[in-house]
Amino acid sequence: MTLLALAAVAVLVVGYLGWGRIVASRLGLDDTRPTPAVARADGVDFVPTPRFYLLSQHFSAIAAAGPIAGPILAAQLYGWGPALLWIALGVVLIGAVHDLSALLASVRHRAATIAELMREHVGRGAWMAMMGFIWVALGYVLVAFTDITAATFVGAARELPDGTSFHPGGAVAFASVAYLSLALAMGLLRRRWPQAPLWLWTALFVPATGLVVWLGTLCSDWLVADARTWGFCILAYCFVASLLPVWLLLQPRGYLGGFVLYAALGAGLVGMFLLDLPIEQPAFRTWQAPGPTGALFPFLFVTIACGACSGFHGLVCSGTTSKQIARESDCKPVGYGGMLLEGLVAVIALSTVVTALDGELTGKSPGRIYGDGLGRFVAAIVGPEHLLVASTFGAMAFSTFVFDTIDVAARLGRYVLQELFGWRSRASAVLATALTLAPPALALALTETAPGKPPAYTKFWTLFGTSNQLLAALTLLGVLVWLRAERRPSWFVALPCAFVLAMTLWALLVQLFGVADPVLRLTAAALLALALYVCGAAARALWRSAIRPRGTVSQTAG
């Protein structure tokens, strides 16, 4: 495993130093241009931020369940070889290019969103279609991540050597709920005593985060429920969390989650490089897994999803990160480098499944596989007697990644509806949040969870990955239109855009005509119609740009 991990990390490093430098030079990063964070600095939304701290914040925002669950599912379906190859090459040549170009495009357009970029360079119709596509895609983020997290909160109890009973899912549930409670407490205390230094809150709450993991193993039978119950509880959390002020939960949770994130990365690197565990799983399994969505082409790419390329990242880049870029040159380490770090998360997730025996994978969700694998790594460091705590930490780290995403997805869904309909009141915010969460709640309610039935996330994951990567392709398409209008080099965006667009439209067509579930087929049809409309409008904008004489100023399409 060590040599394989070294090769993967070497590709990421060389990609940043080589391809990342080429892309940055073609984009023309220019530190003489004042960024929106500098030109519109207000101390609230527009804040010039040192790139190291901004990278940490950005990485925490984009890292979620996708780069963990996707590679694990793909390795179980097709083998770890195709998964690792796509992660290593896809993240360098496509995913990081998407994040960097989306970030710079937003910076060059007054920190506007990707949808606003479409409105300016393609037209109002494309803006509306893009907003609709984003809203539907966010719904599938909520469905897939909610169910896959709920699966980590359940699990059969087992007897320990001392005769006591241990519920692994209950331990993770307790630790996760306690972690969110700590974030709320930190937000309230910082609001009450704003003059207290950040290091004091760090010294208090970061060790407390580790403490609740240990407490979870002692209170594993306190919060025991089935997956559907937990799914609705998580959606209820999203409803409340997305309406709360950011200082109360989002900011402190993101801050504490960053420490969990880096601890998980550290444990994964130690496990890959120092333990040298043997590879137990086959490098290649099949070209055609069971089911209509089982062909390696195109479904390997949409199954791995965020591990190589993610449209959700474009929303983060243009939604918050672009408002904090102090210099354009910071876009490379934050945008390109942040995506490579997510690729590293995907490689670590892959290592947890390829070093596991078949019996250690049977009947387990990706979150549980990742938690147990990370637990093996941690236990090898701290001692096997702490395996329960280590495994609970691994699974809680997985749920932490997800909580940092699902309530943000619910908040973004609310923003989309409010912007589309011009809603401004507090009541409209509640209504927009309820409308955003209603389809995921309905999807979970209608999904059968009887024994022997596959978990709900297996039903929704493929369409989630397809919509997420198709959003990335549409984002690249918007960037392409902008670059062509500016008469700048664009081939390094055009080629990834064409590949991802081809794979995702292919996958969407298969799901439209090959899947029996009417809800999935209806959603696939809606996504396909919205995407084709955006593609048609962008093609017309590209044609106008191609025939426009040099030296003329591009006009916004009507």
- Rounded to whole angstroms, what are the CA distances from 433 to 63, 172, 192, 410? 23, 27, 28, 7
DSSP 86-140: HHHHHIIIIIHHHHHHHHHHHHHTTT--HHHHHHHHT-HHHHHHHHHHHHHHHHH
- Alpha-carbon distance of 229 to 271, in angstroms, equals 34
- List pLDDT tens digits, range 522-546: 999 999 999 999 999 999 999 988 8
- Alpha-carbon distance of 159 to 48, in angstroms, equals 54
Closest CA to 205 of 251, 172, 237: 251
Write phi, then psi, for 123 (nearest 5 degrees). 145, 165
Angle at 546 between CA 545 and CA 552, to 5 degrees: 55
- pLDDT at position 538, please? 96
Q: Map out the domains of the chain as residue ranges.
A: 2-547
Residue 472: how many CA atoms within 13 Å on its side-chain side? Answer: 36
Q: Give 32: exposed, middle or buried? Use CB within 10 Å, 0-12, 13-18, 19+.
A: exposed
Which stretches of 328-455 are DSSP H helices?
331, 337-354, 366-382, 387-421, 426-446
- pLDDT at position 455, please? 67
pTM: 0.89
Q: Which residues of the chain have pLDDT under 70?
A: 44, 162-163, 448-456, 549-558
Annotate 10-49 with three-state secondary structure.
HHHHHHHHCHHHHHHHHHCCCCCCCCHHHHCCCCCCCCCE
b/e per residue 152-187 (b: at least 16 CB within 10 A): bbbbeeeeeeeeeebbbbbbbbbbbbbbbebbeebb
- Alpha-carbon distance of 151 to 459, in angstroms, equals 14
3-state DSSP percent of the chain in helix, strand and coil, to 5: 75, 0, 25
- What is the dotted CATH code of the domain comprising 2-547? 1.20.1740.10
Residue 313, C-beta contacts closer than 8 angstroms, at least 6 positions apart: 62, 95, 98, 99, 102, 306, 339, 342, 472
- Alpha-carbon distance of 407 to 65, in angstroms, equals 13
Residue 275, C-beta contacts closer than 8 angstroms, at least 6 positions apart: 1, 377, 380
Q: Considering Cα of 323, then 328, then 330, then 333, what sign does the dihedral take?
A: positive
Helix (H) or strand (E) holding 166: strand 165-166
Residue 418, C-beta contacts closer than 8 angstroms, at least 6 positions apart: 424, 428, 429, 432
Residue 231, C-beta contacts closer than 8 angstroms, at least 6 positions apart: 146, 147, 150, 444, 456
Residue indicated by tokens 């495009």:
105
Cβ 70 vs Cβ 291: under 8 Å: no
- pLDDT at position 530, please? 95
The one-letter code for the residue type at 404 is D
Collapsed DSSP state (helix, strand, coil) of residue 288:
strand
Strand partners, 158: 166
- List pLDDT tens digits, range 460-474: 889 989 999 999 999
Rg of the Cα trace of the chain? 22
Cβ 511 vs Cβ 524: under 8 Å: yes
Beta strand pairing call for 158-159 and 165-166 = antiparallel
b/e per residue 335-347 (b: at least 16 CB within 10 A): bbbbbbbbbbbbb
Closest CA to 201 of 212, 190, 213: 190
- Alpha-carbon distance of 294 to 422, in angstroms, equals 42
